[in-house]
């Protein structure tokens, strides 16, 4: 599953866009450089029922923003994406 597909699935499950999760994480201080992924994963599991794979996709955008490594772009692997920039503003607003 691509990073973008993880984010889209999270939105379907929770009704929240990745950008909304970033804002919620900032309110809780989870965007601090010292915050460990485990703390974010616990919050996402406890409050939203998200598992590790989906949680790690959000950890990435919370800690590093929308850019992903170009090695995932245009490949045939399971984590391939069409772009090195993830869309964070919701499936309905993503340009075609």
CB within 8 A of 4, min separation 6: which ones? 81, 82, 86, 87
Q: Is residue 43 part of a domain?
A: yes
Answer for the pair 94, 18: CB distance below 8 angstroms, yes or no.
no
Q: Is residue 93 part of a domain?
A: no
Q: Is residue 66 part of a domain?
A: yes
CB within 8 A of 75, min separation 6: which ones? none
Q: Is residue 47 part of a domain?
A: yes
Per-residue pLDDT, 21:
98
Q: What is the pLDDT of residues 54-79, one digit of tens each?
A: 999 999 999 999 988 776 677 666 66
Q: Is residue 49 part of a domain?
A: yes
Q: Is residue 40 part of a domain?
A: yes
Domain count, the chain: 1
Query: Residue 55 sits in which domain range?
Result: 3-72
Q: For the whole model, what pTM was predicted?
A: 0.88
């Amino acid at each position: 599953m691509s990073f973008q597909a993880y984010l889209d699935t999270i939105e379907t499950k929770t009704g929240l866009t990745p950008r909304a999760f970033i804002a919620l994480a900032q309110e809780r201080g989870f965007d601090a450089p010292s915050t460990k992924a485990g703390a974010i994963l616990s919050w996402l599991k406890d409050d939203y029922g998200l598992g590790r794979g989906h949680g790690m996709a959000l950890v990435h955008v919370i800690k590093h923003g929308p850019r992903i490594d170009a090695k995932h772009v245009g490949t045939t692997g399971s984590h391939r994406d069409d772009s090195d920039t993830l869309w964070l503003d919701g499936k309905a607003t993503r340009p075609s």
